Chain A
């Protein structure tokens, strides 16, 4: 077995999972993570349980991050970035910038787990994010739930009475060149709605969508419970614009009311934009340094296994936490085979 360190670029759920798997198999790893703390995108997600666990996996991310910091054989470098790589497959030399210093690390394999950026909702000005106070993104909602335990209107801190969830913000959208489905948004929005209504049953929620995308095995029962919940409306019509109002902080939108087929206008006091995933802004840089091919959408494609460079997680394309972990475990297995088996 080629017995040198493995270098993992990215300390989100995929990178952390690969590190844990490899550590169990006796392969030491170093995680290079740009931010501090570890966790990537999913590290900031909130628990979305209602009367039972809704399988959002947010707590699993927290658990894995705790776990990875306690393990021997895993070195963690936060606020660090990969600057360059040289050497033959199996005998890489990587330059890492950390705390202003450059360190040279040896690695027998490189694992890229750089993840995604979430769509910047300001790029859809018609939705008014950054303009209207009570238009927030799913991330803002995660932050609220995680740190304050409830949902509040940004304008006055009050509890909203009608929340609208807008799907496919930044996904399936020709106008911005994002011709992919981010896979997780339907599920996370439905979970948000269940969780919010469980905490505050008087809040009415509406889900504006194009197509409902299933995610995972528990999706069927989640969808069932949403369809039966009278405080939730699932509306197959995505308004093209959100209107503010002069005399109140409520938001107004126009959509086609499916039962009647007529155009209606309705007010909501909070709008949540279900933002999707996109390739990272700096994805190009890392791809060039490591020679990773990209697909049409700009996500990474797996290089040949003989190259010693492996991919894990959402950098390959949008995926949920569970799939990222399964993917990371599969990658760990491939790395172990590459290094000569156990």
Chain B
């Protein structure tokens, strides 16, 4: 507990290169020097410049000051550099406050007299607030260069390779019997003439043989706990024993699922899924034939009945349309709502397809299907026919109709979200698209996401995410230690009623409930031998310092070290 009498505040006035000279004149300096507990008040030309900071380095603890207030621009301009400086000079970095009189006063209040009054008010409050500060320690935890990748599709594989090539050991877990996932269904890339298969086999081989990657198949996830530096994933794999896989960070690449088109007319052999189309093109010799050996002359791709805002089917349709025209001389129709060309090179491929005679038919009303003599009749109202005033329906008699299968979130997403303590938004894909997390991070520190578990992406985009997520992991583990300030929430276990509010409201899964004391310390009438006293505890590496738990706790058992209620209350008085 600090008594105000013990505080010694050093004040540094930043003239911000002259911008604040008229505001921070001699009168102001005198005023500041006269405030209680202020032991010194110096002026500097520009504290946010490297020279200014160097000048300051030696002078932070001048006059035996144990805390400092900077009067100048926004705290955002000083905080990080001053915190580093504080570390170097022995003044705890959290014992420095900034009175914002530039963005907050000089730039927004036109009248000089009023601006001066306001600046005085802000400075006075900040100096009082400085009296309430206490030092916040910097800690570090060891993080081994080990990571766990959950998901054995191409995204998981690519992430594992990216990590392993950066010298991080990886345990790759997959629920399937083999790694590879859905990419095996893809026959050709759209943007290069290579076949997917050799590339794919190479990826699988590299992962299987990499000395730093340990692959475990047929895995069931049974438990998940821990924090950055020490995540523990409990798994069960044949022959059946449970084991705990450890890693400093976790990368989730668990993919998405697909709903096949079945029922009614769609069971007819003329309807094929996109993967089936890939396979037919891959295995076709000179001629393309259906199951009964009948040659396929007319192929129609149906897009946008499902997966309307996903580019995968569109890209594959254009790619395969070109192959069907070029290699098999088929008549090809692509029936869609909008032609999706927002992929590198796709506009050119689309134009090439049109030049080669692929017919693109755009609709507003969904097409209809019927069977006519062993072919499928696709009826669709082309939107541009309205131009002529007559609206007529195209009838496309097709030997093969390629129908998209709906992409849906993985059926495991609910389990994964609950297990990993990350949010599951309504749409069912993991992690809301919060721009603050830039797609590859989860809100739980040390957990990353990539690929189809977030949203179905084309292969190229998903692989990019895999590398980006790997980069996130690499950063955290690169130094072997993770440093953090205890500018976090702290729970007083004696006050904790174990109401479980805080673990539930914490958005970052940073609070656990643990055994706090053996029962022998507290003799509690009416409780049995096995009673253990539990309390909530904040995991300091995981805490983001948001304070949501602080304001939610009914017994006020939680303090936010860098912004206490006392500090806020100081500002609430007028």
Contacts and interface: CB of A to CB of B under 8 A. Distances in A.
A73 B468 CA distance: 21
Contacts of A21: 471, 475
Contacts of B469: 329
Nearest to A59: B435
Contact of A341 (B167, B346, B364): B167
A217 B391 contact: no
Contacts of A212: 338
Interface string B432-476: 011110111000000000000011000001001111111110111
B479 interface: yes
Nearest to A71: B80
Interface in B61-95: 76, 79-81, 84
Interface in A170-193: 172, 179-181, 183, 186
Contacts of B561: none
A334 interface: yes
Q: Give the contact-size bracket for chain B.
A: 35 or more
Contact of B433 (A218, A323, A332): A218
A60 interface: yes
Question: Contact residue range for chain A?
Answer: 35 or more
Nearest to A333: B471
B483 to A, nearest CB: 12
B297 interface: no
Contact of B162 (A66, A259, A337): A337
A325 interface: yes
B309 A342 contact: no
A342 B473 CA distance: 11
B304 to A, nearest CB: 10
Interface stretch (B112-120, B241-249, B380-388, B503-511): B380-388
A236 interface: yes
Contacts of B464: 323, 326-327, 330
A198 B142 CA distance: 49
Given A211-B339, A217-B429, A333-B468, A179 B347 contact: yes
Contacts of B305: none
Given A322-B438, A323-B461, A337-B162, A342 B429 contact: no
A220 B348 CA distance: 25
A285 interface: no
A154 interface: no
Contacts of A218: 433
A211 B474 contact: no
B271 to A, nearest CB: 25
B348 A296 contact: yes
A333 B165 CA distance: 10
Interface in A12-33: 21, 24-26
Contact of B80 (A25, A57, A70, A215): A70
B435 A337 contact: no
Contacts of B309: 214, 219-220, 223
A327 to B, nearest CB: 6
Given A66-B76, A326-B438, A336 B467 contact: no
Contact of B474 (A53, A326, A336): A336
Nearest to A63: B436
Contacts of B339: 211
B81 A181 contact: no
Given A181-B347, A261-B386, A342-B478, A60 B438 contact: yes
Contact of B310 (A55, A59, A214, A342): A214
Contact of A332 (B429, B471, B477): B471
B166 A341 contact: yes
Contact of A60 (B166, B435, B472): B435
B340 interface: yes
Interface in A243-267: 256, 258-262
A258 B364 contact: yes
B290 to A, nearest CB: 31
Interface string B403-434: 00000000000000000000000010100011
A82 to B, nearest CB: 24
Contacts of B341: 172, 181, 211, 213
5 contacts: A53-B435, A258-B364, A261-B385, A333-B474, A342-B166
Interface of B: 76, 79-81, 84, 145, 162, 165-168, 308-311, 338-348, 351, 362, 364, 383, 385-389, 391, 427, 429, 433-436, 438-440, 454-455, 461, 464-472, 474-479
What are the nearest 7 A-B pairs in CB distance? A261-B386, A330-B467, A329-B468, A24-B475, A214-B309, A211-B338, A217-B455
Given A216-B455, A329-B471, A332-B471, 4 more contacts: A24-B475, A25-B478, A258-B364, A330-B466
Interface of A: 21, 24-26, 53, 55-57, 59-60, 66, 70-72, 172, 179-181, 183, 186, 211-221, 223, 236, 256, 258-262, 295-296, 316-317, 322-323, 325-327, 329-330, 332-334, 336-337, 341-342
